Structure 1
Amino acid sequence: MLVEAAARLAEAGVASPEHDAAELLAHTLDVPRSHLPLVGEVGADQVASFKALVQRRAQREPLQHLIGRAWFRHVSVAVGPGVFVPRPETELLAGWAVDAARAVLATGRTPTVVDLCTGSGVIARSLADEVPQASIHAVELDAPAHAWAERNLADTEVDLRHGDLATAFDDLLGTVDVLVSNPPYVPLEAWESVALEARDHDPHLALFSGADGLDAIREIERRAARLLRPGGVVGIEHADAQGESAPAVFTEAGRWEEVRDHRDLAGRPRYLTARRPR
């Protein structure tokens, strides 16, 4: 079953056919993927359900939509139509935010962290899991995505709000230690280059951001300048083609220091960080 499914997915252009076939079968059988070699007979109903899921994945429906969850660092979140599916490369940005919050904690203060464009709430959820002492705040504009974030953050102390990143958290002006964001950053002209799973299933509000893909990052730069306390830091994910243009938004603003870009595990430019002068 796995061999045939993987071949079908590979033929359809799925990037990780063996992995996805195994995940779908484990989901169908309601067992951990590592337990698949221990499975005996598979019932006819389960075979039919598995084949149906494989067909949907072959049509490039996201794996995470089919199984209903996405794994990220040490947590998993519920996902489905209407919310951006978390990507593995974003784990590095979340890890940076965790380290930055812990650095504040080490000074004896409770860190205040803001997550703009929270989407499914996965970065805020990771922060709550790894730095539970932090005061964490998150905002999402898109109503369906906000509903997913509500679900994923319901058992945490995260202050989740429904609103625009450009005006959110007036009550926190000048008090934030760490601001993190995985905003939309795909240029409108790059429509054809976007993977089918994202282009056809992720909300476009979470993908596209003006002609050059930097509109949201420019807005975050302006908002971060008001939200962060002196010495506070900001981290923002960007496209791999924006390794120079995204940090330039901060350097050209003339009000930031330590503006740096960081690469992902594949060596591609992935996120920028900057510090508000003390």
Structure 2
Amino acid sequence: MTDRVRLRPLIVAAADRLAAAGVASPLPDAETLAAHVLGTERMRLALVPMIERADADRFEQLVDRRVARIPLQHLTGTAAMGEIELAVGPGVFVPRPETELLFAWALAQLETLPHDHAPVVVDLCTGTGALALALAHARPDATVHAVELDPDALNWARRNADARIADGDTPITLHSGDVTDPDLLTDLSGRVDLLVSNPPYIPDGAVLDPEVADHDPHRALFGGSDGLDVIRAMVPTIARLLRPGGATGIEHDDTNGAGVAALLSDAGFAEIVEHPDLAGKPRFVVGAKPGTA
């Protein structure tokens, strides 16, 4: 009796189980869990035809938990943003792939800034620190501030920030604060070049997948009856913080692109553009504060 088993049939069987459980991406999830167990990259699994029985058992245990709709990122302990990996787990919102589009826009926006000063960046509702830390990694010349209200999420952000420092990245400044507070970050008023936010924006009562409803903190999800309560309160502060010519990008529920654009327009922003995600759904809105940076 061999202590080694074939990997691919295990993955295929796991994907079938995940599909039957309603998981949206069964094969990628099964492959990701296998790669996690084996300490390799998902794209290199084809180079591992056989695995030890102990690894197979561990893989099956993780698949059981994913069948129960435990978030994939809670099982692997990580989520990606840009070129970095972030520690995630219970008590903090798991960064979504869709937010990579906001990150890419922000990074491109930084390239358009004048070079007469170090860019000043603010991330409101930072959660794990995903956007702030990814931007600091990509632009070590930037001064990055990140704000989070929830103490559990702030602990995750500090953990991730410490890990990035250990890897040689420029430190960011974490703030415990309420993004709806009109006096937030008053020392940065008129000094910020770029402000990004992935705030709570789901309308109350929305039906969510179990991974979200049962595991993401509700404080990080819901934004009032129309999903705009937090964004509505943030916009005046964003206008105050940005320097003339500074820009903001705000992620939102796919029902609220026009609503967020209207809020920015009413606050005097210019160059307002609604951006879709890869599925073509409205995902984030950008705008600029009039004037010259």
TM-score, reference length from structure 2: 0.90
Question: What secondary structure, in the 3-state scheme, does the structure 2 residue paired with 1:100 have?
Answer: helix
Which of 171, 178, 193 in structure 1 is aligned with 2:194? 178
Residue in 1 that maps onto 2:135: 127
* Matching residue of 1:224: 238
Counterparts of 1:127 and 1:90, CA distance in 2? 13
The C-alpha deviation readout for 1:148-184, integer Å capped at 9, x for no partner, is 1111112131111111112431211111111110001
* TM-superposed deviation, 1:218: 0.7
Q: Does 1:202 align with 2:210?
A: no
Q: Which residue of the partner structure matches residue 272 of structure 1?
A: 285
Matched, 1:149 2:157: yes
Q: What one-letter code is carried by the residue in structure 2 that aligns with 1:117?
A: C
Letter in 2 for 1:56: R
The answer as to 2:107 corresponding to 1:98 is yes
Picking from 275, 281, 289, the partner of 1:262 is 275
Deviations 1:132-157 (A, max 9, x none): 11111101111111111111112131
Q: State how far apart, in whole Å, the 2-side matches of 1:251 and 1:128 are.
A: 29
The CA distance in 2 between the partners of 1:11 and 1:40, in whole Å, is 25
List alignment gaps of at least 5 residues for structure 2: 1-9
1:42 aligns with 2:51: yes
- In the alignment, is the contact (CA less than 8 A) between 1:180 and 1:236 conserved in 2? yes
- Deviation (angstroms), 1:40: 4.9
Question: Which residue of the other structure, out of 105, 115, 130, is the alignment partner of 1:107?
Answer: 115
SS at match of 1:188: coil
In the alignment, structure 1 residue 87 sits paired with structure 2 residue 79: no
Checking the alignment, whether the CA contact within 8 Å between 1:139 and 1:168 is kept in structure 2 is no
Instruction: Say which SS state the counterpart of residue 255 (structure 2) adopts.
Output: helix
197-206 vs 151-160, which deviates more?
A: 151-160
Aligned identity (percent) is: 50
Structure 1 residues 124-133 or 94-103, which shifts more? 94-103
Shift of 1:109: 2.1
**What is the rounded CA distance, in whole Å, between the counterparts of 1:265 and 1:137 in structure 2?**
28
The 2-side partners of 1:22 and 1:47 are apart by 13
Aligned-residue offset at 1:189: 2.4
Tell me whether 143-152 or 24-33 shows the greater mean CA deviation. Answer: 24-33
Counterparts of 2:265 and 2:44 in 1: how far apart (Å)? 51
Hey, what does 1:63 align to over in structure 2?
A: 72
Report the counterpart of residue 34 of structure 2 in structure 1. 25
Determine which of 25, 33, 38 is the counterpart of 1:16.
Answer: 25
Moved more, 155-164 or 113-122: 155-164
Count of residues paired in the alignment: 274
- Structure 1 vs Structure 2 CA RMSD: 1.3
SS in structure 2 at match of 1:240? coil
Return the TM-score normalized by structure 1.
0.94
